[in-house]
Structure formats: structure tokens, C-alpha cells
Amino acid sequence: MKGKCYIQGLAAISPQPTFEGEFSSMPLVHTDSNMLTCVEPDYKPFIPANSLRRMSRLLKMGLTTALKCIENSGIATPGPIVTGTGKGSLQDTEKFIKEIEVYQETALNPTPFIQSTYNSVNGLIALQQKCTAYNNTFVHRGFSFENALLDSMMLIQEGASHTLTGAFEEITAEHFYIKSRIGFWKDTPVDNRELYQQLSPGTIAGEGATFFTLTATATPQSYAAISGFKMLYKPATDKLVKAFADTAGAPDLIITGRNGDSRYEHFYGLLNNLYPGIPQLSFKHLCGEYDTAGAFGLWLAAQLLKTQQLPQQWYTFSTPLPAVNSILFYNHFYGEQHVVLHLERV
């Protein structure tokens, strides 16, 4: 993908206290349950009380994050709304399926079904903001958020002044159990602070909602520029290496989606060989693994480029982090969907 777009505003609800507060002073939330769940804010300033009690958890997180992002950007109307999700509202889906059995397919409450559809968050945002512009949700597993990002960048190239672009995912106990049966998570409890030292098959589960306001032009408030973007499906090694070289050049910092799963460590060995001496950061000890975890990684990269700081509780460096003007961002979802982004300081 050629051409630049700019991150004008952002917001995230994640397993870390990312929704409010000073970025550089955020504490590290940790657990050894192999499942990171979101630190949820007070929703009342964003959602009326009579609506709040009827909404599922994911709808609250998605809508509130989007509204906070719009507020953060300083842009009054969201314009086109483009999102990605791998699973949508698992809580509502599970509730509806259970009620089918309990009520033997009679007298079912339609609300969980309506709220379980993938585009329910987009619809709520549009209704709340009275937005009648382009509205789309992508559901493509590990490419869900990245397809939303690609669509947004194309909209901007075609003349849109800005878009609201985001991703949302939730984890439930039932879904965690199902994924554990097919080897997604680690067999033994792991403290997320030690995720990269405990290399073994599997990783830890996570969830989150992240939104960005993307614009065609930069302003003094802009967080970062997205100047390179490639998606690859099950790439051969030479194609992945070429994507790194074509998209990034020589970055000041590399942010990766390492997740402690020993089955995929060889991908990150390529980066070590291509960019010796370039500092690397990983982010999934903060948010866990899920289909759209790349959105949280992009949030982290944009915050770093803007503030030139990182929370000391999140990372420990033997030497001070140098000035960061460009970042190579690399993430993949279980070795299948690979994404390479190049970000620049504005």
C-alpha cells in the first residue's frame, strides 16, 4: 500500500489502564491465569444509563473507545466508520446459543442475537453520532483489523478527509476453554511479565478495543504517519524478508507481536538477522493474543512516536531508548496472516 495517512486521534480499552491517564506513568497489570481481561473504565460519561444496562460488555467497550477516540482527535464527526473483529461479541453469541437449548427454540429473546452480529458496534457508533457515511466491518481472523486499516487508507486516497478505524475483541471462559483444547494457550500458568522467557507451545489469551482517527493531512496534534503497509498470507521466507526491506528501510525501533509461542520464534529470527543492533519491543505481554491484537500494537507505536516515552513498568532497558523517528511494526496471527507496517514521526 503506497501513500501516507496520519493518526490524528486514538483510544484503547485493554488489559492495561490505557483508557485514561498519562501514558508514560501507566502501571503494569499482570496475571498468571493465562488470560488477560480488560481494565474497563466508567462508561457513564459516554453512554446514557438507560442504554448502558441493555448493552453487552463488548458493545460498551467498542462504543466508548470510539467516542473517546473522536474526542481525542478534535474532529466533530467520525466520517466513514471502518472496523475489524475476529469473533465479535462472544458473550452474546454464547448466551443466544444456550437459550436455544434451554427454551427448546421457542420464546427466544432476540436481543443477544442482534447484539452478537459483527457490525453491531459500528451501528451503535453511527446511531450515537448521527453518521450516515460509509460503514463497514471486516471479519477476516488475523487480517480483520488490517483489512479495516487498508480500506480506510484507500478511502483517504480516494478523497475522504478522515475515517474512524478500529477493532474490538473479547474473551470468555467458554471460548478460552475451547481454544485451549486445540493448543492456542500454554499448558501451565505463566505470568505475563515472564511471557518471553517461558518459551513453549501456546501463548496467553487477551482482548481489547482500539480506535484511531485517520486523516489525509498532518497537524501538530498528529501522533504518527503510516507510510508503509503490507499483508502476506502464509508467506515464504524470501517474500517475508522482502516485505521487511521494502516497507521499512532502516527503522530506529522494531515493535513485534512476539507472544512466547515457541512454534513461531523463527519469524523473529529473520528480524534479528536483517536489523542487527536495532532495539526491539514486543507488546503481547500487555494485551495477550487475539485476532485483532495488532490494533493495540499500533496504538503503542503511535503513542511512542508522539511522546518519545514508554512506561517504565512495561519495559526495562539496559541503555536509554534512543530518539525514535521511524518504527517497523511486525505482527502475525499463528503463522498465517502476517502484517508489516512502517510508521514515522510527524
Query: What residue numbers bound the domain in which 267 lies?
Result: 5-344
Q: What distance in Å separates the CA atoms of residue 203 and residue 183, rounded to the nearest whole number?
A: 9
Q: How many CB atoms lie within 10 A of CB 90?
A: 20
Task: Indicate yes or no: pTM above 0.85.
Answer: yes
- What does the pLDDT read at residue 2? 65
The domain that holds 331 is classified in CATH as 3.40.47.10
Average pLDDT along the chain:
93
3-class SS of residue 35: strand
| Phi/psi at 205 (5° precision) | -85, 155
Q: What distance in Å separates the CA atoms of residue 316 and residue 108, rounded to the nearest whole number?
A: 52
Q: What distance in Å separates the CA atoms of residue 293 and residue 118, rounded to the nearest whole number?
A: 17
If one counts the domains in the chain, the total is 1
- What does the pLDDT read at residue 188? 95
User: Residue 52: is its pLDDT beyond 70?
Assistant: yes
User: Residue 61: is its pLDDT beyond 90?
Assistant: yes
3-class SS of residue 113: helix
111: pLDDT confidence band, cut at 50, 70 and 90? confident
The whole-angstrom distance between residue 16's C-alpha and the CA centroid of its chain comes to 13
In 3D, which of 211, 219, 189, 216 has the Cα closest to residue 202? Answer: 189
User: Residue 95: is its pLDDT beyond 80?
Assistant: yes
- What does the pLDDT read at residue 53? 87
- What does the pLDDT read at residue 248? 64
Produce one character per residue of 61-84: b if its CB has 16 or more CB atoms within 10 Å, e if not.
bbbbbbbbbbebbebeebbbbbbb
Are 26 and 34 within 8 A, CB to CB? no
3-state secondary structure 204-253: CECCEEEEEEEECCCCCCCCEEEEEEEEEECCCHHHHHHHHHHHHCCCCE
Q: What is the pLDDT of residues 204-216, one digit of tens each?
A: 999 999 999 999 9
236 or 93, higher pLDDT: 236
* CA end-to-end distance (rounded Å), the chain: 19
Produce one character per residue of 293-317: b if its CB has 16 or more CB atoms within 10 Å, e if not.
bbbbbbbbbbbbbbeeebbeebeee
Q: What distance in Å separates the CA atoms of residue 109 and residue 132, rounded to the nearest whole number?
A: 29
172 or 317, higher pLDDT: 172
Strands (E), 139-188: 162-169
90: pLDDT confidence band, cut at 50, 70 and 90? confident
